[in-house]
Every structure is written in structure tokens, then in C-alpha cells.
Amino acid sequence: MRCFLSLLFILPAFACYSQQTKVVNVGKEELRISPNQFYTVNGEPVSSTKYIRVVEGTPYFNEAWMKGSLDLSDGRGYENLWLKLDLADHSVLFIDAEGKEMIATSVIKNVSLIDSVTGRKYDFVHSSFIKGSGKIQTGWYQSITSGKATLYKHSAKVVNETKPYGLATYEQTIVTTDSYFLLADSVFSPIKKISALPNMLHDKKEELSQYISSKSLSGRSDADYARLISFYNSFFVP
């Protein structure tokens, strides 16, 4: 299935900057890229009319523009870009050579974003390019750890609109629901809870069960799932 990213509208700059929590803001003059960096990725200007009155939540992985890279479906890759990932509309935004906010319309396979404060890298792959049987909801999946088994995280964003009494305009609340998925032996499966993983990876069932107990893994964080899957993958490292 080919994924064509649809037209997206984003918050005005002041709204984006007011909600940022994770990454240091950068001014528009610092976000420009050279004309030949991204010229083969088609894009359209974004509008500021979709996310106007967001009172809670965010449609983006991060409100701030993040330095990153991406790969197109045809294999071409681009680095040193300013990107923003919209998880509500499954879209990729970028800053063009003139400093304009654009939405990519090319078919993008994966995106990597770097936190400018911590240096941490976040890798995402679009559902169209996950090779595995099973139901895969459309959108971007964060690859947390990989090996014989790969752990994915999917953050579903739902935009709810309400019209408070006495106001002429609607307010938007964006709710995020995080889910974890396992890709093993070419099967893509949802992970209901961390205690289900020993049965899902039954060839190391006893070892995984003991590891969960000894490390007191609750499954309340990405790190818990990542530690368990990394432990499983360690058995298959040459």
C-alpha cells in the first residue's frame, strides 16, 4: 500500500511555541535549508486554520521543529532537515529553503528526529512499510528497539471539538493513546501488557518471565518494554 501524505494545517507559530516542553525553540531564520537539500520532496504550504484553539494536548510528536532525516519510498534519503511529525494526520512537515512551513506530499518511508537538548534519536516508520502479517493501523510507528524481535510504539491522536457555553468558537482537545506492538517471525501483533510477552516470544518464555520478575518491570514506560525485548534479542546476537 502506497502512502500519500495529505494536506495538513498547523498551529500558528505562537501557539506551537507556547506548548513546547521537550526541545529548545529555534527561530525561523535558523530553520532554513539550502535549496538543493529537499527539492525532490514535493510539498504544499500549510494553513493555520486547523489547530486554532487547542486547549489541551498536541497533534505533534513534539511541538518544536526538530533536526532530522528521512527516506523516500524510492530509496533516496535526505539529512539535516527541520521536521515536525503530525501524528493526528500522519503527516510530515518541513521548512523549505525560503523558511516557509510546508507539508510533504512525497511518499515517505521513515523519519528520524533528534532532540536538540538530550541528543536522543527517535526513529519512525510508516505503517505502509512495516513488513508483517496482522492488522496494522495507518500511521507512524516509533521503532524503540530491534533485532530478532522489534518493538514499536504507536501514539494515536484524536482531536475532539467542543463549544463552551457563551463562546462563539470551538475548542480542541487532543487525546493521545499509546500502544505497543511486536514484530516477530514476520507477525505484527499488539502487546496488551508486558506480562503477555513471554507467551508471545515462547521460545524464551521462562527466561522472559524470570527477567520481568527480577527487574520488576511493570510496563508503565517505554524503557520497561525496551529492556525486555533487548534481553530477548540478546540470545540471538552472534
Q: What is the pLDDT of residues 99-136, one digit of tens each?
A: 889 999 999 999 999 999 999 999 999 999 999 998 89
Q: Average pLDDT for residues 47-62, to the nearest whole number?
A: 84
- For residue 167, the model assigns a pLDDT of 76
Q: What is the pLDDT of residues 164-180, one digit of tens each?
A: 787 778 889 999 999 99
- For residue 32, the model assigns a pLDDT of 47
**Average pLDDT for the chain:** 83
d(CA 173, CA 205) in angstroms, rounded, equals: 41
Q: Using CA of residue 178, residue 183, residue 186, residue 192, what is the dihedral sign?
A: negative
All cell numbers assigned to 69: 532525516
d(CA 153, CA 124) in angstroms, rounded, equals: 9
pLDDT at 3 over 70: no
**Ranges of each domain in the chain:** 13-191, 192-238
The CB-based long-range contact list for 115-121 (8 Å cut-off, 24+ gap) reads: 115/22, 115/23, 115/62, 115/66, 116/23, 116/24, 116/26, 116/64, 116/66, 116/67, 117/22, 117/23, 117/24
Q: Average pLDDT for residues 87-102, to the nearest whole number?
A: 91
pLDDT at 22 over 50: no
pLDDT at 13 over 70: no
pLDDT at 86 over 50: yes
